[in-house]
Amino acid sequence: MTTKSRYFEAPQRLRAFVRAHETSLVVLAALIGAIGGLVVAAMSAAVEGLHVLLFNLEMGDRLSSQFRIEPLRALLVPGLGGLVLGVAFLWLSRWRPAREIDPIEANALHGGRMSFRGSVIVALQTVWSSGVGASVGLEAGYTQLASGFAASLGRGFHLRRADQRVMVGCGAAAAIAGAFGAPLAGAFYAFELVIGSYTPASLTPVGVAAVAGYFVAHAFTVMSIGVGVGPIGDVLGRDLAVAALLGVLAALFGIAIMRGVALCEALLSKSGLWPPLRPVLGGVAVGLLALLSPQVMSSGHGALHFAGFVSIPLTVVATMFMLKAIASVISLGSGFRGGLFFATLFLGALGGHLFAGGFDAIWPGLKLDPTVYAIIGMSALSASVIGGPLTMSFIALESTGNLWLSTAVLVAVMISSQMTRELFGYSFATWRLHLRGETIRSAADVGWIRDLTVRRLMRTDVTTVRADMPIEEFRGKFPLGSKSRVVAVDAAGRYVGLVFVAEAHAPDLEAAKGIGDILHYRDIVLRPEMNIQEAIAIFDTAEAESLAVVEAEGEPIGILNETHAVRRYAEESEQRRREAIGDI
């Protein structure tokens, strides 16, 4: 089913042309990429303007690169900023009670449908949160707004479900490519995290969008992680082993951060504190931490751009590491809007530096390069929290240009990702969805499964009989061949069981008995809201060929046959497979 766009509707001839020519999607992807680059530039400029205005900085200065912040501003700006955000949340909850959908959830459950207005709201909340100094990243806002634009454009062209999902991925790819100056990382962010798979059909549009986003964003301001390494030798076996150990530690710390945010949210919810005051509390807490280390404020871009980053004393690095982790957990847990993408890159770089220093203290002969392990650490921790091991590997490669280093990074991110999957099972985005009751673990398209419900598949011509009807009367009413099964109900019309007509006509069955003696599946029924996977699982458990569909009140409303359900599931699965490879 096609959903019309509220803001844009392409002419019918143009829509037909786009649907008929795959190359036309590449043109749309290029347009989305340019929009994504503009989004990155505009949101970055807005945050910089807020920092200049609220923290009395010079244009071009980074908040997190300051050596000192005025104590009054450090406390008042995040605190009052949190109050404004909290009141805005309260007002929005009355105006828009439904939760806004992010790109991952949109592609997993809604066929790439997103609210453009909701995406603008999320982007503004993210800009404000980072602008008042909360320890959150802008990347979630970049991808939300760019993907929201893409989704609206796709609806305006009435794109197919698969193409609509690719367009949402194009928006995210452009945003990440522009934000980090890394087109490959942007493209693989879309494949791994937003589309949920790589396919030949999505390669060209996503790649074009990522490159367009990179060039447009950099036409306004050069944006990159700002790290680099000098030439290093070949990666040896010992380096891979040490990188693997760092990957293990990164996974454990990443899981701790994700659980910490959830714990902070739960504690504040149980505290009974008025919801608009929760961001105030979080903002003041971040301000207090900023008095000790200003690098905890905002996303941390300025701090990671420090000249001579790895020459900072380890005691200072350890302090920054702990305070930044606490500030990020408090900011997100108290209600500020944003993400952990850049925060985990910064934390991972600090952690990698600490790891190299600690390892050298234990085993001085290895002489680990702190810059190298800062980059390995930032990639490994981000792979744990954000997901996307290839995305993080390409960020390291495009940031440093060093292929040998990227080999060690790849080992660390593989270990980190695998351990996180085994011990935790979620990225930060899917963990937040899990806490809200969703079960998705990636952006892989499962929305069609939820749309294919028992209500849509069942036959509604239900024949019912009273469960106390005598066998002889039943035989007269339903001769052999007239029906295969009939639904039995009680005096109030509630489901009791299924009667097989052939069994009722068995010669060895005593005619004096009632059909209540030969009922099957008394306690096994299907509900109309169940999806097709749930229905097939019940068929398998019950070893049944057909089951009644019963409302919550007990009224039977249909019959579903296992053969029909399995066939429809296979047809839909094949359709999705063909869409994924472009064979449509």
Query: What does the alpha-carbon distance between residue 279 and residue 335 come to, in Å, rounded to a whole number?
Result: 5
CA angle 90, 92, 96 (to 5 degrees): 135
74 contacts 285 by C-beta, under 8 angstroms: no
Domains of the chain in sequence order: 12-225 (1.10.3080.10), 237-435 (1.10.3080.10), 450-574 (3.10.580.10)
- Please, which pLDDT band fits residue 306 given cuts at 50, 70 and 90? very low
Question: What integer pLDDT is reported at residue 223 of this predicted model?
Answer: 67
425 contacts 435 by C-beta, under 8 angstroms: no
Q: Give how far the C-alpha of residue 314 lies from the chain's centroid of Cα atoms, to the nearest Å.
A: 35
Read out DSSP for 357-397? HHHHHH-GGG---HHHHHHHHHHHHHHHHT--HHHHHHHHH
179 contacts 223 by C-beta, under 8 angstroms: yes
Phi, psi of 280 (to 5 degrees): -65, -50
Buried b (16+ CB within 10 A) or exposed e, 236-273: eeebeebbbebbebbbebbbebbebbbebbeebeeeee
Give 3-state DSSP helix, strand, coil % of the chain, rounded to 5: 65, 5, 30
- Going by the DSSP 8-state scheme, the letter that residue 559 receives in this structure is E
Q: Does the pLDDT value for residue 369 go beyond 90?
A: no
Nearest CA to 145 out of 168, 129, 163, 161 is that of: 168
Q: Does the pLDDT value for residue 495 go beyond 90?
A: yes
Instruction: Please give the single-letter amino acid code of residue 223.
Output: M
| Tens-digit pLDDT profile for residues 154-169 | 999 999 888 999 999 9
Q: Which residue has the tokens 């930032």?
A: 378
Phi, psi of 112 (to 5 degrees): 85, 10
Question: What integer pLDDT is reported at residue 307 of this predicted model?
Answer: 43
Per DSSP, the three-state class of 66 is coil
Stated pTM of the model: 0.84
Q: Which residue has the tokens 């479900």?
A: 161
CA distances from 524 to 217, 483, 550 (A): 58, 21, 10
Query: What does the alpha-carbon distance between residue 164 and residue 32 come to, in Å, rounded to a whole number?
Result: 12
501 contacts 488 by C-beta, under 8 angstroms: no
- Once rounded to an integer, what is the mean pLDDT over residues 578-583? 63
Q: Give how far the C-alpha of residue 181 lies from the chain's centroid of Cα atoms, to the nearest Å.
A: 22
| Tens-digit pLDDT profile for residues 69-92 | 999 999 999 999 999 999 999 998
Q: Does the pLDDT value for residue 233 go beyond 70?
A: no
Q: Does the pLDDT value for residue 230 go beyond 80?
A: no
Q: Cβ neighbours of residue 210 under 8 Å, at least 6 residues apart?
A: 33, 170, 173, 174, 176, 177, 183, 184, 186, 187, 190
Q: Does the pLDDT value for residue 469 go beyond 60?
A: yes
- Please, which pLDDT band fits residue 272 given cuts at 50, 70 and 90? confident
Question: What integer pLDDT is reported at residue 348 of this predicted model?
Answer: 93
- Please, which pLDDT band fits residue 8 given cuts at 50, 70 and 90? confident
Q: Which helix H or strand E contains 303, and what residues bound it?
A: helix 301-304
Tokens of 372: 């190298």
Lowest mean pLDDT among 220-234, 337-351, 470-484, 555-569: 220-234
Nearest CA to 396 out of 181, 175, 566, 542 is that of: 181
